[in-house]
Amino acid sequence: MSAGDGIQVSLVDEEEDLLGYDDVPEEGSEDELESGSNGTDQIEARKAAEMLLKKEKPCVTVSYETDLFLLFDCDDQTGLPNVSSIICEKESDLHDSCSGLFASLRRFLEEFYGSLSFLSKELLLDIPCLDIVLCEDNIYNGQITFDDIATIFKILKERSERNMEHNIPRWLETRLTVRPRFVSRYNALVELTQTSATLGNIKPFTNDSSNPLVLDDTSTPAVAVVETVTMDVDDEDEGGEEDRMEDRGQDRPRSHGEASENESDELLEIVDEEADEEENSRS
């Protein structure tokens, strides 16, 4: 081997010393070192998860229509109004993504009210004190948790209390509403283009008390005038009824006995007249 080769080998050894390869401990394999590192990470992750689970759940009320619910089973429920039920009972719901939270909300509502009420509807969770609305179809739901929202509320609430502000909410109040999902409405509009529909067909039909159906608002329906005749049967006799019928020029139906009596009276009058004429002629 030449001297140049020996120098080259010496340089390689020095580079290895500079990189610290000789400092690597001989005892233990690489697998054992990696397993030890992973075990430490798992222990730290477990401790962090336990700390999250031990964290006190915030008091969050959810109002839907006329019912009031608790979003989580919070520890301190002092001063809370009577609620119908607790929506999220799992410990992990608070730290789950908002996508998972809305899945739990939908599952609870469909069991409580029935699935037909929420078919093709998007859930909206309005938080008035933070001026924010969480939408079920928001693409960022997978990146945030409700614990993030609750933490923001807690920080701002503590600052408001230090500043002695007024009308500070004691807990986080939310309102749950629904609206047609974008995909459902968009598909319905596409179907309209395949027919003879116009823009006049866009507004859906409604016939409720606030927007009643009007068939024809230009014409006024005719009101029939009904004449009411009041008769007092107890005070009127048969003679009075006959006089009223004669005054109105109406024919009163007569019985066979009444007709025979009138004819007999006429015959008697004729016989009396003939007898008077004979007597006058004799005298």
Per-residue confidence (pLDDT) for residue 194, from 0 to 100: 92
Question: What does the alpha-carbon distance between residue 134 and residue 140 come to, in Å, rounded to a whole number?
Answer: 10
**Average model confidence (pLDDT) across the chain:** 73
Structure confidence at residue 203 (pLDDT): 72
On the 0-12 / 13-18 / 19+ scale of CB atoms within 10 A, 86 is middle
Q: 215 pLDDT band (50/70/90 cuts)?
A: very low
Local confidence band at 64 (pLDDT 50, 70, 90 cut-offs): very high
The whole-number average pLDDT for the span 19-37 is 52
DSSP 145: B
> Does position 132 have pLDDT exceeding 60, yes or no?
yes
Helix, strand, or coil (residue 119)? coil
Q: What is the pLDDT of residue 106?
A: 95
> Which pLDDT score is estimated for 92?
84
Summarize pLDDT for 141-151 with one digit per residue, the tens.
Answer: 999 999 999 99
The per-residue DSSP string of 180-235 comes to E-HHHHHHHHHHHHTTT--GGGSSPP--SSSS---S-SSSPPP----------TTT
Rg of the chain taking only CA atoms, in angstroms: 50
Long-range contacts (CB closer than 8 Å, 24 or more residues apart) made by 208-214? none
- Contact yes or no for 175/128 (Cβ under 8 A): yes
Q: Are 124 and 133 in contact (CB under 8 A)?
A: yes
Residue 89 is predicted with a pLDDT of 85
Give the start-to-end residue ranges of the domains of the chain: 60-186
Give the residue-averaged pLDDT of 164-179. 93
CA max distance for the chain: 204
Q: 10 Å Cβ neighbour count for 147?
A: 17
